[in-house]
């Protein structure tokens, strides 16, 4: 799907492997509970599998996100039907082959390829007990409707994001903040749900910091994703590229100014390439600041006070991720408690580690991938009350 091969190895494949190994090691550490209700009454509370889990995957990181769903679903005792995006199916088919080689019984893991019709059929099927989905809010709503109209199957959704990256003047290392901001934002061509697409900079350092961000963005290498030197490969398909360009054109009509315009950059002719763009002095209510672009377009906003930063960060319908750069721990903790986001980085960025739950609030969906918490959505609790004679 265009992911640079260096990123594919370091992030996509390595974190997929790590996730499957982690859940494999967790398998014999999941215990049931006992509740003593009286001298001769004991209750067993056991975790039971749901049955068949349908996992509908996005195209931006199918191996890693697939592993986040496959690992806990299998450990909980379910069988799994993976439905990859039509733009990135091969890796899931290979995972299924490897699962058979590893000894997983036939039928425990199946992969169904196809377009949206395959996902819709899975969502509406009465023999599917759970749907876990990562993708757009539009599709997430359709899945919930299908689940309600069929067998009321369990649903968990990880949807869009419009993450705020808040940089204060007292950040411990502004150069590092600029490096991380650019790397996180434009990794995988900005096609990441948690990408920090809104850069909120305190007004005292707005101009100088924005200049550093633009300088680093200009230095990114755009080219063949199979070249280890490439930072940005092509956009996944023609439709996605057209959608990004349309949103940029709409932003211009709303008065947004691009200090760096990727449409003017020289890129390879063959392929759906689009160089990164940086928009400055963006109106917080504009479409560019409110809607998920899912492409290499960064919006820069400014603030003066802590309260203003919090209001701006929370001022979208999403609540997936956020970042804070400040040397004042009191302020950091104050802000973190008030941000409506499921994943908050402070003075750096942490990769998609399996130990931490991943998901968001508001229209970023519900339910969590990763960590032991993910197992809860693939299982339910059963009480067995035992009475003895004495």
- Domain 5-159+364-387 indexed as CATH 3.40.605.10: yes
pLDDT of residue 390: 81
Q: Could you tell me the two tokens for 242?
A: 């057209």
pLDDT of residue 343: 97
In the three-class reduction of DSSP (H, G, I as helix; E, B as strand; rest coil), residue 204 is classed as helix
**C-beta contacts of 24-28 below 8 A and 24+ residues apart:** 24/71, 24/75, 26/75, 26/372, 26/375, 27/75
Every domain of the chain and the residues it spans: 5-159+364-387, 164-346
Confirm if 255 and 273 have CB atoms less than 8 A apart: no
In tens, the pLDDT along 206-257 reads 999 999 999 999 999 999 999 999 999 999 999 999 999 999 999 999 999 9
- Please give the distance of CA 291 from its chain centroid, rounded to a whole number: 16
Q: Largest Cα–Cα distance in the chain?
A: 83
d(C-alpha 11, C-alpha 16), whole Å: 8
pLDDT of residue 284: 97
Residue 356: other Cβ atoms inside 10 A:
15
**Which residues are known catalytic residues?**
158, 193
CATH fold of the domain at 164-346: Aldehyde Dehydrogenase; Chain A, domain 2 (3.40.309)
Q: Could you tell me the two tokens for 369?
A: 């991938």
pTM recorded for the entire structure: 0.96
DSSP state of 358: B
* Residues in the chain where the model's pLDDT stays below 50: none
Confirm if 154 and 130 have CB atoms less than 8 A apart: yes
């Amino acid at each position: 799907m265009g992911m640079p091969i260096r990123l594919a190895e370091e992030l996509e494949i390595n974190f997929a492997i790590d996730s499957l190994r982690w859940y494999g090691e967790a398998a014999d550490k999941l215990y049931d509970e006992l509740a003593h209700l009286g001298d001769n009454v004991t209750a067993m509370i056991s975790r039971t599998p749901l049955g068949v889990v349908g996992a509908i995957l996005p195209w931006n990181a199918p191996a890693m996100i697939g592993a986040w769903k496959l690992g806990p679903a299998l450990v909980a005792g379910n069988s799994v039907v993976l439905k990859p995006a039509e733009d990135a199916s091969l890796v899931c088919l290979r995972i299924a082959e490897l699962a058979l080689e590893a000894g997983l019984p036939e039928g425990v893991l199946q992969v169904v390829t196809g377009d949206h019709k395959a996902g819709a059929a899975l969502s509406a099927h009465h023999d599917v007990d759970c749907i876990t989905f990562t993708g757009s809010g539009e599709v997430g709503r359709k899945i919930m409707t299908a689940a309600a109209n069929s067998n009321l199957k369990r649903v968990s959704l990880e949807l869009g994001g419009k993450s705020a990256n808040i940089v204060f003047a007292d950040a411990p290392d502004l150069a590092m903040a600029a490096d991380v901001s650019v790397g996180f934002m434009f990794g995988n061509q900005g096609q990441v749900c948690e990408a920090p697409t809104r850069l909120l900079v305190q007004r005292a350092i707005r101009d100088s910091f924005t200049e550093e961000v633009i300088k680093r963005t200009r230095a990114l290498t755009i080219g063949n994703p199979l070249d280890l030197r490439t930072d940005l490969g092509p956009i996944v398909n023609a439709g996605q590229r057209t959608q990004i360009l349309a949103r940029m054109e709409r932003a211009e009509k709303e008065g947004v100014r691009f200090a760096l315009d990727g449409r003017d950059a020289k890129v390879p002719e063959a392929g759906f390439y689009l160089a990164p763009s940086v928009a400055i002095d963006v109106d917080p209510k504009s479409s560019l600041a409110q809607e998920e672009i899912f492409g290499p377009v960064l919006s820069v906003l400014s603030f003066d006070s802590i309260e203003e930063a919090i209001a701006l960060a929370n001022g979208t319908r999403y609540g997936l991720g956020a970042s804070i750069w400040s040397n004042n721990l009191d302020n950091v903790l104050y802000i973190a408690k008030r941000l409506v986001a499921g994943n908050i980085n402070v003075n750096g960025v942490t990769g998609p580690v399996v130990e931490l739950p991943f998901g968001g609030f508001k229209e970023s969906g519900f339910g969590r991938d990763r960590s032991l918490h993910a197992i809860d959505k693939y299982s339910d609790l059963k009480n067995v009350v035992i009475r003895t004679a004495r």
